[in-house]
Amino acid sequence: MAESVKPGDPRFFTRTGPHSLAAIAALLGCEVAAGEQVLSGAAPLQSAGPEDVSFLDNKRYAPLLAETKAGAVILHPDFAGRVPEGCIALVTPEPYVGWARVLTLFFPFPEPLPGVHPSAVIDPTAKLEPGVQVGANAVIGAGAEIGAGTSIGPLSYIGPGVVVGEDCRIHAQVTLSHAILGNRVTLYPGARIGQDGFGFAISKAGFTPVPQLGRVIIGDGAEIGANTTVDRGSAQDTVIGPGVHVDNLVQLGHNVNIGANSVIVAQAGVSGSTQIGPGVMIAAQAGLTGHLNIGAGARIGAQSGVMQDVPAGEEVLGAPAQNVKSFFREVITLRKLAQTGRKGPKTGN
Question: Read out DSSP for 265-306?
Answer: -TT-EE-TT-EE-TT-EE-TT-EE-SS-EE-TT-EE-TT-EE
Bridge-based pairing of strands 293-294 and 216-218 is unpaired
**Cis preceding-peptide flag for 18 (omega within 30 of 0):** yes
Same domain, 183 and 316: yes
Bridge-based pairing of strands 145-146 and 151-152 is unpaired
Same domain, 102 and 180: no
Alpha carbon of 54 to those of 20, 63, 73, 135: distances in Å? 15, 14, 5, 35
Classify 164 as helix, strand or coil. Answer: strand
Question: Considering the domain boundaries, does residue 285 fall inside one?
Answer: yes
- Residues 34-68 as b/e (b if ≥16 CB within 10 A, e otherwise) read eeebebbbbbbbeebeebbbbbbbeeeeeebbeeb
Phi-psi region of 267 (alpha: psi -120 to 50; beta: other; left: phi over 0): left
The residues near 70 (Cβ < 8 Å, ≥ 6 apart) are 43, 45, 48, 49, 50, 52, 53, 54, 87
Is 66:82 a contact under the CB 8 Å cutoff?
yes
| The domain boundary residue, chosen from 106, 128, 148 | 106
Question: Considering the domain boundaries, does residue 336 fall inside one?
Answer: no
Amino acid identity for residue 33 in this structure: A
pLDDT tens string for the chain (349 positions)? 344 467 889 899 999 999 999 999 999 999 888 768 899 999 999 999 999 999 999 889 999 999 999 999 999 999 988 999 989 999 999 999 999 999 999 999 888 999 999 999 999 999 999 999 999 999 999 999 999 999 999 999 999 999 999 999 999 999 999 999 999 999 999 999 999 998 888 999 999 999 999 999 999 999 999 999 999 999 999 999 999 999 999 999 999 999 999 999 999 999 999 999 999 999 999 999 999 999 999 999 999 999 999 999 999 999 999 999 999 898 899 888 888 876 656 555 5
State the residue range of the domain holding 287.
Answer: 174-198+209-324
Question: Considering the domain boundaries, does residue 157 fall inside one?
Answer: no
Same domain, 187 and 288: yes
Residues 83-130 have pLDDT tens digits of: 999 899 999 999 999 999 999 999 998 889 999 999 999 999 999 999
Same domain, 270 and 182: yes
pLDDT at 166: 98
Rounded CA separation 64/77 (Å): 17
Is 185:223 a contact under the CB 8 Å cutoff?
yes
H or E segment to which residue 246 belongs: strand 245-246
CATH of the domain at 277: 2.160.10.10
Whether 171 is catalytic: no
Question: Considering the domain boundaries, does residue 24 fall inside one?
Answer: yes
Question: Considering the domain boundaries, does residue 330 fall inside one?
Answer: no
- Residues 33, 35, 40, 43, Cα dihedral to 10°: 30
Residues 202, 203, 209, 211: is their CA dihedral positive or negative?
negative
How many domains are there within the chain?
Answer: 2
CATH of the domain at 92: 3.40.1390.10
Question: Considering the domain boundaries, does residue 81 fall inside one?
Answer: yes
Is 224:241 a contact under the CB 8 Å cutoff?
no
Query: The sheet that has 88-91: what strands, in order across it?
Result: 41-42, 52-56, 72-75, 88-91
Rounded CA separation 109/184 (Å): 12
pTM above 0.85, yes or no: yes
The residues near 269 (Cβ < 8 Å, ≥ 6 apart) are 250, 251, 253, 286, 287, 288
Same domain, 185 and 44: no
Angle at 282 between CA 269 and CA 319, to 5 degrees: 70
Rounded CA separation 278/300 (Å): 13
Same domain, 91 and 215: no
Same domain, 77 and 182: no
Radius of gyration of the chain (CA): 25
Alpha carbon of 32 to those of 23, 74, 86: distances in Å? 10, 12, 13
Query: Which residues sit opposite 315 in a β-bridge?
Result: 299
pLDDT at 342: 65
Rounded CA separation 311/298 (Å): 7
Question: Considering the domain boundaries, does residue 50 fall inside one?
Answer: yes
Task: Please identify which of the residues 19, 245, 254, 291 carries the catalytic annotation.
Answer: 254
Question: Considering the domain boundaries, does residue 344 fall inside one?
Answer: no
pLDDT at 34: 72
